[in-house]
Structure 1
Amino acid sequence: MTKQNIFEPGKNCWQETQACYSTPLIDCANYYRALHSSICKAEKQIIIVGWDIDSRIRLLHGEEEEQSEAPSRIGDLIRWKAEQNPDLKIYLLRWDSSFAFFDQREMWALEVWQDKTPENVQAILDDSIPMGGSQHQKIVVIDNEVVFSGGMDVALHRWDTREHKIDEPGRNGPDGEYGPFHDVQIVSSGPLVKHFAELAHWRWNRIADNPIESIGFPDTDTDDLPGCWPDGVKPCFTNADCAIARTIPEMEDTELVQEVRHMLINLIGQAEKFIYIENQFATREEIAYAINKRMKECPDLHVVIVSSYDPKGLFESEAYWASRITFKNIIEKDIDDGRVMMTYSSIRDQQGRMAYKRVHSKVMTIDNQYLVIGSSNLSNRSMTLDTEVDLVFHGSTEENQRCIEFVRNDLLAEHTGRETDQMQDLINSDAPVTAIMEGQLAHGYVLTEIDDSEFTTASETNVFRSISDPEEPLGPAIPDFHGKFSAITNPRRRTIMISLGVIILALIAGALILISNTVPWLDGDRIQAFLEESRGTYFALPTVLLVYLVGGLLFFPVTVLSLAVAAIFGPIWGPLYGIMGALLSAGTTFLLGKLLGNAGLRKLGGPKVEAVDEKLKKSGIIGVAAIRMLPVAPFSLVNLVAGISSITLVQFLIGTFLGMAPQMVAKGLVGDSIMQIFRNPSAETVTYLVGGLVFWLAMIIGSQKAAKMYQAKKEEAKEESEECIA
């Protein structure tokens, strides 16, 4: 047996509890597989709280995905499970993220879940975090039987296997390929599940209109694994004493909670022989000072820290890598060489190809006495501003001490290319850090000492750090009607999207106004004069085509152009030239829309645009023709939207021709009649004009009815086909 644990609820932890069974899940392939299994087994309730919940992420890969009866993508899996069991309640809470993470997130996440899942699936975005902070807790509770917690989200650029191959086809997300990625989650059952469920309920109920339904908790006085325990996962810890530590920023309805910060400092103060840490970031100077202090108190204490190497962008480099230089200097100050090492894990294969493992995990072991697996980085924001939750195990039995040792040794073996059973002898040696760093095999993963001076320099005053790794909210506290001060929250995603839309529309409108005021020939009279000069010449058709092309790009009304062309070139050549010009203009702006869609407008449009796109694809040529017959939107705008959609250029042009040709004939009659009235006003020319207008109106009304009749017949045929199949 070992000494009493250091858990102090209300100070360094929220709850002191117990896990009947717990098993670390190292790297996302293992976590996603386990999560898929437990979701498939759920019968009553699923609660997912995360930094992100991306509906596009595949939980299974390869043969597992092919052989699974349940869908692999989590969005499809949740929908499938909810439809399969209408009594199952599913709650999804995701951070309503800041503008900084737009490129890493599903653009219309809330609408995707709302539009594509049944009513027993509820999704909300948490926008209550103070400005600069994030919702960083990662919790999944299933049937109140099992809980997943740790550093992993169902998000972009997470999935990888423990081999972390240089070439891995599975590491290919919706926005492209990414490199080796390492993370750690843990699945648990027993009394601790009740506390994680309570935390998840609190997160949901404080911002949602409808509270989470209570379903009760199973009996934990049994040796059987719970029904939702994932297949293929063997328990590591059994009957383990543990504690739950949180970080919660001060918000309108909460006081500041810094249990994680106090827990880590207290744990470091217990270390005697070996501290192992792997963490995405290492910037919190308080943690560095605590490690340095403990190493001076215990001459036999050695420390290995594993983190990432190459920074992702300027903010990460200057906010975290620059601060990590200071962190490293503090730890090593007045400590003998070879006792502490900050490292990264990388591989160079026999062909000379290099890969750096991206470390996202948040793990700490203190000898064989304590194991931390959580969501907290060793950063300022994780100690004070973000919401975090860590699970801390105490090695209160020899069995659980061996489990702590195994987890640590297994992780170190992965990072150094060794076997797990080799690591304990290295750690038991007189110089464990040196033993670990030496003798690593070539062409496998190896640990290398970090030198962040390759990327940046330490700085006392760092504006990037103050923005990316703050201790306090970026905005000031403001009073409410009762005089209570509350921190400003991050702007809501919807607010940001609406603001961006307004800005884009304002820029477009400003550009059009500028063009109209600075281009003297952009009016109906000048265009008509320009066309008249080409009448009767070889340049007539090219002139018409040029006018339609330029007019389409500048959103000039196509009806005005068509009437002008008909008035100048007559009822025969006018419609012919007009339809050719309209097709050229439509095709050009369609291709422009295609380029814009590929550049991100399709993603910006969200599921509502997808729904319109789906209808357009189903109706095809007839749908385009119907739109062309009805003056529901500007000609060029329809072209751009069609380009953003999935309809083909050929379908679009054929539909445009079928929809516009009758109109062009009608406009030809009207335009020619107007010209004849000016040249030779008489009862006959007025009659032609009135007849042309009536024919034009009849074409619009007739096309509406024809489109509706066609659509009705199409739906009727579809229903009959489905009945026959049934």
Structure 2
Amino acid sequence: MNSAETIFDQEDIYTTKSTARYAAPIVDYANYYRALHEAIAQAQRSIFIVGWDIDSRIRLLRGDEEKASELPSVISELIALKAKENPDLQVYLLRWDSSLAFFGMREVWAKEVWDEKTPSNVHTVLDSSIPMGGSQHQKIVIIDDELAFSGGMDVAVHRWDTREHRINEPERDDGDGRYGPFHDVQIAVTGPIVKKLSELVRWRWNRLVEKHKHITELTAQENTQGLPSCWPKSVTPILENIDCAVSQTVPFMDDVKPVQEVRKMLLSLIEQAEEFIYIENQFANRGEIAEALNARLKACPNLRVLLVSSYQPVGAVETEAYWAGRIDFKQILENGIEDERVLVAYSGSTNEDGIKGQKRVHAKVMVIDNTHFVIGSSNLTNRSMSLDTECDLIFAASNNTHKEQIAWFRNDLISEHSGWSVDEVQTFIDGENTFGKLTQCKEKYAYCLKEADDQIFTDQSLQQILTPIGDPQEPIVPSIPLPNGKRFSIPNPSKSGLLITAAIVIIALLVGGGYLLSQNVDWMSKDYLQSLLTSVRDSPWAFFAVIGIYVIAGILFFPVTVLSLAVAMVFGATWGVVYGMAGVMASTAVLFLIGNLMGDKGLRDLAGPRINKIDKKFAQNGIFGVAVIRMIPIAPFSLINLVAGISSIKLMHFLAGTFLGMLPPMIVKAVVGGSIADIFRNPTPKHIGFLVGGIIAWFLLAYGSQRLVNYWQARQAKKQPSKEDKSSPIKMQDQI
């Protein structure tokens, strides 16, 4: 390819060619989150967010900006407010339904959390259609079909940072502890390219939902001049009317034809390089890319390559699949090339206290000379070339102004990592010994570029074992051929599927274990348990023994309904109520205090979004709300007690509501339990009638309570018509 051609003169390396009326690279999360906050605040018609993660807890603003903002900083609160104020605004959130490997760092109940926190015009879908081992890795935001963000940035934990990347940064904490400096790049665009991205995200959405929920119409209004109203004020465009295109990686999904445009695009760009290739990437272990770079270096004597990545791996899989792979990548890249023409580096610093820090590079950027650049979601890995879903935007200069701006963008990134000014970086690139000068530290506490030495982290002994798991280029489980000639790809197991499978396994283990114990352990036999209950019934310590059993059962989340029926069977209808209520109150108090000690974060990680519903009842209705929950349970008895411990309700009020709510059903349960015991001893029509009558009374009590609560809520809604009550009607569940 001669130098007069651009990447857009080739076919099969981009989804679609288009133009960006304005484009602005956004460097690091503080700037991106601020821009995203501004854009969401101005949205009028639609918001699409497609991401590897979309975490509802993320604060988009920090520090003084957060304090000064009139709008919420937390993204879920911001979207909920905008959607509530403007019912015509439709919000679509598409997030990867991730594998077990990321459960510890992502919201497990992602869809339920978003559904709980937002109005009905906010729609959430979890994508579990990616072949096993792959991920949904595109990071795209579309506002009103007029503004698009795309690149390496998700809305996720452990990402926010400023361009200063202070080693000691208090705001670099998402509630679960400090994390280190973090670097990434996104780009904001407007103009015709946004339509292409809008069509892409709609296609992604429509293939995951039922046909009647498909989205087809674009909401953009004709705007041929100036910036759209939703363009963030904090972002200044640096490029105008520049050619661009979308390249994707799409694996085989159902009947979707695989696409490897990113791979072809990167190889094509490398073939065009003449003087300088600058790369920022989270990972670099794709041998094919290293071979292409090495070949181009040998073909062009004046060409130099600078690759900036992260310093230290996290975990065994990352170490052996990516850092070990980067050793091979570097060896291939440097083979037969003079040292001064290639540098694989990381950016590190030491602060005034002598504490060292290195940036975690998450960006996916490639700049070819001053003619082309890429900002995308694709790493230089096997999975990004074939197995994950990826989206990269490629830009091509068509005039000298574009070339100057591309060069400035490249130099600005290098300046951040090396500590040298933008002008000094350009001087080094134009002169001799470029990398020798760039790796000199200008100031004592500034960030400096340092050559990566990955052999200090791994001897590559586990590389062959862990690479197929951590960085596969084909699905971990091969696709299955079908009779019609097509193939069925087995997707990653969904969160719900994993949890159901885990529940079945746990239940099977408990049932099997209980059976084995009952057959082999004397004190687990039916006769022994019967004699124990009888001895407890006749003991003067029976009252305290029952209380102790309720407390232990509550801690173990044992169903209180089953326990109350058993107590009634042993002690009869009258004393069953007395003993049962005493045990319930004691268990309630103990678990309330345990919940208080566990704190808010621990309980929310344990129970997920149901906590919000329970806590809302406490906050709105106090003692009455507790009584309602006890009569018509919306969550397990023990969970309600634990959640109360982190709510604003006082212990005495909670106990009072528990007593009022539990006493009526306890009386009915005592009648039922006592009747069951009488039937075993003497199955007369009278006892059978008491049992049937007690069961009917039980259901009538629950049904009547629900009708009463619904009537009361309707009355409250009429008194406060402007306040939206998103909570769904309480349904009778035998969960306690």
- Alignment TM-score, normalising by the size of structure 2: 0.84
Query: Structure 2: which amino acid aligns with 1:23?
Result: A
1:557 corresponds to 2:563? yes
Cross-structure match for 1:203: 204
Q: How many Å apart are 1:287 and its aligned residue? A: 0.7
1:338 corresponds to 2:344? no
Cross-structure match for 1:431: 433
Whether the aligned pair in 1 keeps the contact of 2:418 and 2:441 (CA below 8 Å) is no
Query: Structure 2: which amino acid aligns with 1:473?
Result: P
For the structure 1 residues 702 and 123, does the alpha-carbon distance in structure 2 shift closer, same or farther, using more than 3 Å as the test? closer
For the structure 1 residues 664 and 278, does the alpha-carbon distance in structure 2 shift closer, same or farther, using more than 3 Å as the test? closer
Query: Structure 1: which amino acid aligns with 2:51?
Result: G
For the structure 1 residues 363 and 669, does the alpha-carbon distance in structure 2 shift closer, same or farther, using more than 3 Å as the test? closer
Q: How many Å apart are 1:705 and its aligned residue? A: 7.2
**Counterpart-to-counterpart distance in 2, 1:633 and 1:521:** 34
1:452 corresponds to 2:429? no
After TM superposition, list the pairs within 5 Å mapping 1:238-249 onto structure 2.
Answer: 238-249=240-251
1:214 corresponds to 2:217? yes
Q: Which one is further off, 515-524 or 244-253?
A: 515-524
- How big is the alpha-carbon RMSD for the aligned residues of Structure 1 and Structure 2? 4.1
Cross-structure match for 1:639: 638
For the structure 1 residues 525 and 616, does the alpha-carbon distance in structure 2 shift closer, same or farther, using more than 3 Å as the test? farther
Cross-structure match for 1:684: none
Query: Structure 2: which amino acid aligns with 1:525?
Result: Q
Whether the aligned pair in 2 keeps the contact of 1:160 and 1:182 (CA below 8 Å) is yes
Whether the aligned pair in 1 keeps the contact of 2:140 and 2:151 (CA below 8 Å) is yes
Q: How many Å apart are 1:349 and its aligned residue? A: 0.9
SS in 1 for 2:126: strand
Cross-structure match for 1:326: 328
Cross-structure match for 2:27: 26
SS in 2 for 1:78: helix
Whether the aligned pair in 2 keeps the contact of 1:593 and 1:639 (CA below 8 Å) is no
Q: How many Å apart are 1:78 and its aligned residue? A: 2.2
**Counterpart-to-counterpart distance in 2, 1:302 and 1:123:** 45
1:154 corresponds to 2:159? no
For the structure 1 residues 436 and 597, does the alpha-carbon distance in structure 2 shift closer, same or farther, using more than 3 Å as the test? same
Q: Which one is further off, 23-32 or 296-305?
A: 296-305
Q: How many Å apart are 1:531 and its aligned residue? A: 2.6
Which of 243, 252, 255 is the matching residue for 1:253? 255
Cross-structure match for 1:90: 91
**Counterpart-to-counterpart distance in 2, 1:199 and 1:668:** 61
Whether the aligned pair in 1 keeps the contact of 2:39 and 2:232 (CA below 8 Å) is yes
Whether the aligned pair in 2 keeps the contact of 1:303 and 1:433 (CA below 8 Å) is no
- Kindly tell me the number of residue pairs found equivalent between the two proteins: 707
Q: How many Å apart are 1:136 and its aligned residue? A: 1.3
Percent of residue pairs bearing the same amino acid type? 46
Cross-structure match for 1:470: 472
Whether the aligned pair in 1 keeps the contact of 2:630 and 2:661 (CA below 8 Å) is yes
Query: Structure 1: which amino acid aligns with 2:429?
Result: I
Whether the aligned pair in 1 keeps the contact of 2:35 and 2:235 (CA below 8 Å) is yes
After TM superposition, list the pairs within 5 Å mapping 1:19-418 onto structure 2.
Answer: 19-208=20-209, 209=211, 210-215=213-218, 218-219=221-222, 221-222=224-225, 224-418=226-420
Whether the aligned pair in 2 keeps the contact of 1:302 and 1:433 (CA below 8 Å) is no
SS in 2 for 1:414: helix
Q: How many Å apart are 1:350 and its aligned residue? A: 1.5
For the structure 1 residues 336 and 673, does the alpha-carbon distance in structure 2 shift closer, same or farther, using more than 3 Å as the test? closer
What do the CA deviations read for 1:382-402 (whole angstroms, capped 9, x no partner)?
111111121122233211111
1:530 corresponds to 2:535? yes
Whether the aligned pair in 2 keeps the contact of 1:370 and 1:395 (CA below 8 Å) is yes
Which residues of structure 1 form unaligned runs of 5+? 682-686
After TM superposition, list the pairs within 5 Å mapping 1:507-586 onto structure 2.
Answer: 507-510=509-512, 513=515, 518=521, 519-520=523-524, 525-531=530-536, 534-535=539-540, 543=545, 545-546=547-548, 548-549=550-551, 553=556, 557-561=563-567, 564=570, 580-586=582-588
What do the CA deviations read for 1:98-117 (whole angstroms, capped 9, x no partner)?
23222232222223333443
Whether the aligned pair in 2 keeps the contact of 1:249 and 1:386 (CA below 8 Å) is yes
**Counterpart-to-counterpart distance in 2, 1:612 and 1:228:** 37
**Counterpart-to-counterpart distance in 2, 1:540 and 1:93:** 56
**Counterpart-to-counterpart distance in 2, 1:629 and 1:289:** 69
Q: Which one is further off, 333-342 or 714-723?
A: 714-723
**Counterpart-to-counterpart distance in 1, 2:136 and 2:17:** 23
For the pair shown, which has the larger CA radius of gyration, 1 or 2? 1
**Counterpart-to-counterpart distance in 1, 2:35 and 2:658:** 51
**Counterpart-to-counterpart distance in 1, 2:614 and 2:144:** 37
For the structure 1 residues 220 and 623, does the alpha-carbon distance in structure 2 shift closer, same or farther, using more than 3 Å as the test? closer
For the structure 1 residues 575 and 613, does the alpha-carbon distance in structure 2 shift closer, same or farther, using more than 3 Å as the test? same
Q: How many Å apart are 1:146 and its aligned residue? A: 2.0
**Counterpart-to-counterpart distance in 1, 2:542 and 2:589:** 21
Q: How many Å apart are 1:9 and its aligned residue? A: 4.8
Whether the aligned pair in 2 keeps the contact of 1:562 and 1:664 (CA below 8 Å) is no
**Counterpart-to-counterpart distance in 1, 2:659 and 2:405:** 72
After TM superposition, list the pairs within 5 Å mapping 1:608-627 onto structure 2.
Answer: 608=610, 610-616=612-618, 618-625=620-627
For the structure 1 residues 189 and 578, does the alpha-carbon distance in structure 2 shift closer, same or farther, using more than 3 Å as the test? closer
What do the CA deviations read for 1:63-91 (whole angstroms, capped 9, x no partner)?
33333333322222222222333333332
Whether the aligned pair in 2 keeps the contact of 1:593 and 1:641 (CA below 8 Å) is no
Q: Which one is further off, 614-623 or 403-412?
A: 614-623
SS in 2 for 1:57: coil
Q: How many Å apart are 1:617 and its aligned residue? A: 5.1
Cross-structure match for 2:4: 3
For the structure 1 residues 404 and 706, does the alpha-carbon distance in structure 2 shift closer, same or farther, using more than 3 Å as the test? closer
SS in 2 for 1:125: strand
Cross-structure match for 2:727: none
**Counterpart-to-counterpart distance in 1, 2:243 and 2:717:** 61
Whether the aligned pair in 2 keeps the contact of 1:629 and 1:704 (CA below 8 Å) is no
**Counterpart-to-counterpart distance in 1, 2:369 and 2:484:** 51
After TM superposition, list the pairs within 5 Å mapping 1:647-658 onto structure 2.
Answer: 650-657=652-659
- Alignment TM-score, normalising by the size of structure 1: 0.85
What do the CA deviations read for 1:315-356 (whole angstroms, capped 9, x no partner)?
111111111111111112222223212111122212122222
For the structure 1 residues 717 and 19, does the alpha-carbon distance in structure 2 shift closer, same or farther, using more than 3 Å as the test? closer
Q: How many Å apart are 1:714 and its aligned residue? A: 8.6
Cross-structure match for 1:501: 503
SS in 1 for 2:466: helix
Query: Structure 2: which amino acid aligns with 1:305?
Result: L
Whether the aligned pair in 2 keeps the contact of 1:626 and 1:704 (CA below 8 Å) is no
**Counterpart-to-counterpart distance in 2, 1:503 and 1:31:** 43
